[in-house]
Each structure stands twice: as structure tokens, then as C-alpha cells.
A and B are shown apart, each in its own frame.
Chain A
Amino acid sequence: EAQVTQNPRYLITVTGKKLTVTCSQNMNHEYMSWYRQDPGLGLRQIYYSMNVEVTDKGDVPEGYKVSRKEKRNFPLILESPSPNQTSLYFCAIGGTSGSSYNEQFFGPGTRLTVL
């Protein structure tokens, strides 16, 4: 079964204090993505990665960075968090071909509060 882990699951921090949310997968999937979920807005894509060292912006990339140095890990970095980045964050993985193409598996979520 596909497994996506995120850490931390909950985080309260203050404006400007750099933080990293980790995402790790055990499925050897090429595609990994970060979303944020806010009430009334649905999930919006922040960044995605098609493979190692291949990343690109999603719809709401401002204030975020990512890296993909290994296939299994896709950390989300907030260099200088601000209160408008308070949200529920999900990492997702997916295949880019074959039977895994259409389904994405999501991690359990990270609830971030920036004071």
C-alpha cells in the first residue's frame, strides 16, 4: 500500500522563523506534489516534482521552496513564514504512466499555524 509520511503533523511557529515540512514516500513514484488547503478554496498546488532534480511551480508558489535530491523525499521549505501561510498542507505522490497515472496518494497532512 502506498505510504506517504509527513513531519511534523502539527506546528505552531512565529513569523519569520524558517521551517521545513518533510515528505517521504515508499512507492518509488516519480511525481510528488505539495498542496495547501484553506476553507472555501479547496486544495491548491504549491509546487510539484516530476523526478529527482526536476521541480516546478504550481498555482501558489510564493513564499515556498522545495527540493528533490532523492526520489523518496520532497521537503517543503518556508524561509520566512507569514500568518497568511497558516494552512493545512498535504504532500501527494503519483505515477506518471500506466495504472498509477490517474490516482494520487496523499500524506496525512501538516497543520501549520504562523503567529
Chain B
Amino acid sequence: RKEVEQDPGPFNVPEGATVAFNCTYSNSASQSFFWYRQDCRKEPKLLMSVYSSGNEDGRFTAQLNRASQYISLLIRDSKLSDSATYLCVVTPFSGGYNKLIFGAGTRLAVHP
């Protein structure tokens, strides 16, 4: 079983739609959680961190459910520029070693 699992998609949605991605992780001791965005053939970039209380950044909302070992990302009012692959990322350790465990990514395609 993969440590971090995501639905690969693709999710094809029209502009203005709301879309949600889910991610599960297997290590209950995982410490930190993130969503990274990766455009085609480009490097991953941090989109947002995910906190237990949930957090929002503009049109993006991230949620963490530690009991179910589940992370979600909600994108409201989708834009064409949101088309990308979204990577769910966890860190297994606390302290000074920031190893990242990546999911394989969920691809989003927003169309006019």
C-alpha cells in the first residue's frame, strides 16, 4: 500500500465549478501535511499547508482529519489557471528532518 494515495483523475471541470480532491495517508504518526501544485513538466510548488483546524487561502480550502487519516483540498470558482496536478504531501517526522512523502498527484483540467 502506498504511503500517500490520491485519485489520479483527471478531473475535467468547467470554469466556475467547485472541485474537491481527497488524499489518504497510511502512517498515523505523520506530522505535517501540505498540498503542492505542479504544472505540466514544471517543478512542484507549495500551495498551502494543512492544519487540523482547517485553513483557507482565497478560493482554496484545506482540511485534515487525523482520525480518518484523510486530507482534502477544495477549490471554489475554478479558473483556467487552476489546471495543474495537485500533490498531497505528508512528513513522517517531527524535528529538523523535513522528509516529504508525495502522493502521485491528482490532475485537474479546467475548461471554458
Residue positions of A touching B, CB distance < 8 A: 31, 35, 40-45, 48, 50, 58, 88, 90, 92, 94, 96-97, 101-104, 106-109, 111
Contact = CB atoms under 8 A, between A and B. Distances in A.
B104 A96 contact: no
Contacts of B105: 42
Contact of B100 (A50, A96, A104, A107): A104
A96 B96 contact: yes
Nearest to A6: B43
B45 A45 contact: no
Interface of B: 4, 8, 32, 34, 41-46, 49, 87, 91, 96-100, 102-105
Given A42-B104, A109-B41, A109-B43, A102 B99 contact: no
Contacts of A44: 102
| Candidate in A45, A58, A102 with the most chain B CB atoms within 10 angstroms | A102
Contacts of A94: 98
Nearest to A96: B96
A102 B49 contact: yes
A37 B77 CA distance: 30
Nearest to B49: A102
Given A45-B100, A48-B99, A96-B96, A102 B34 contact: yes
Given A40-B8, A42-B103, A42-B104, A96 B45 contact: no
Contacts of B46: 103-104
Contact of B45 (A40, A50, A58, A106): A106
A102 B49 CA distance: 8
Nearest to A41: B104
Given A42-B4, A102-B34, A31 B98 contact: yes
Give 7 closest A-B pairs by Cβ, nearest first: A106-B43, A42-B104, A42-B102, A43-B102, A96-B96, A103-B46, A94-B98
